[in-house]
Amino acid sequence: MAPSTLRIIWLYPDLLSTYGDRGNLLVLAHRARARGVEVEPMQIRSDQHIPQSADMYLIGGGEDGPQAVAAERLLDDGTLARAADDGRPILAVCAGYQILGESFYANDRCHPGLGILDLRSDRGESRAVGELSGEGHPGLGVGSITGFENHGGRTRLGEAVQPLAHVSAGTGNDGVAEGAWAGHVIGTYMHGPALARNPRLADVLLAWAVGVDPAGLPPLDDTWPERLRSERFAALAPE
């Protein structure tokens, strides 16, 4: 049954919040309210305990130092892994995405991740910076995806996750696949912020949170997001 008020937690704004990632929270709140669902957005800093009772958890990107600190605090806290087990939707971007895996590299050292997603991240030979686009996994029904990436890590997916998308421009995990999903957990290298550029991805998360099929959500006027998307895809088209 749909919760009367959707509690969405933006995690660790003091450590992980680059390239407008907090915009994901704003997009979700807007798209829920436009459909008559009340939203209670909450920001939980890294020195606070994470409430277990939220309907969705968002975590953003960051530099290596804050990323390693965030991973230690999330491991100590334990709430995020329990939320994933309970089927609560989680969206994790870049550093946050790497943290959800089994392990990741930061400042030339391998760190344990939360083990929520079956994947491992290590260092690439060069930094991946620029536009990222691809074709979303058909099982998610999100169509083409578009974002901005800036990361040194590369990610190898295990068998228990699906790629979020097949890369057509940019790098994503490894130049072939971008992001990962399993259950109600999605990880991505897309900043931009990801949900402003991919409203169908936002709707998949909302549908999971309220317990309906994404196709069952009332449509919204997406004229402006579609303009933004067209502009970004056109920027990648050969001259």
**110 a catalytic residue:** no
Among 26, 41, 64, 141, binds ligand GLN (CB under 6 A): 64
**Interface with ligand GLN, residue 144, by CB under 6 A:** no
Nearest to 55 by CA among 17, 13, 90, 12: 90
**111 a catalytic residue:** no
**Interface with ligand GLN, residue 18, by CB under 6 A:** yes
Among 7, 137, 151, 184, binds ligand GLN (CB under 6 A): 151
**Interface with ligand GLN, residue 222, by CB under 6 A:** no
Give the residue closest to ligand GLN by C-beta: 61
Peptide bond before residue 193 is cis, with ω within 30 degrees of 0? yes
> CA-to-CA distance for 193 and 32, rounded, in angstroms?
17
For the window 72-111, what string marks contact with ligand GLN as x by the rule CB under 6 A? ----------------------xx----------x-----
Binding site for ligand GLN (CB under 6 A): 18, 61-64, 67, 94-95, 106, 150-153
